[in-house]
Amino acid sequence: MGAGTRTTVTMKVLGATQVLTHLIREPEPGRVLEEVDAAGFSTTRFTVDPENGGREARVTIETTFTVRPGLLGVLQAWVTAAVLRRIYPLELARLDEYARSHP
C-alpha cells in the first residue's frame, strides 16, 4: 500500500524454500517503489513512467544485491540474475493484467 508496508514472500529457489521479508519505501511517491530486503541482501526498484499522454505506462524493475566475495559470490550473482530474469516477465504480466482490469 506504499511506504512503510512490510511484505513476506516464500519462494523455492534451486530446491530450497526461502522466506524473504521486505520493507517498502517510496522515494518518489507515485513513481518509484522500492522493496528493501530486511536482511540487507537486496533492493528492488519499480519505476513507473507515463507514456502516450498518461494513457499507458512503462514499468522498469531493477534489483541490486550484495554477493559474497570470491567464486561463491560469482556463482551467487549468476544464479540470482538467472532467477530474476525468469521472475520479472511474470511480474510485469501480472501488473499489466491488473492495470487492464482496473481502469
Could you tell me which residues are beta bridge partners of residue 47? 32, 60
With 0.85 as the threshold, say if the pTM is over it: no
> What pLDDT is stored for residue 41 in this prediction?
86
Q: Which residue has the higher pLDDT, 74 or 11?
A: 74
* Residue 11 forms part of a structural domain: yes
41: cell is 541482501
Parent domain of 27: 6-101
Number of domains in the chain: 1
Asked whether 34 and 27 are in contact (CB, 8 A), the reply is yes
Query: Considering the domain boundaries, does residue 42 fall inside one?
Result: yes
> Would you put residue 62 in left (φ > 0), alpha (ψ -120 to 50) or beta?
beta
Instruction: Tell me if residue 88 falls in helix, strand or coil.
Output: helix
pLDDT of residue 51: 92
Mean pLDDT of the chain: 90
Is residue 58 a part of any domain in this protein?
yes
Give the model's pLDDT for residue 63.
93
In this structure, is residue 1 part of a structural domain?
no
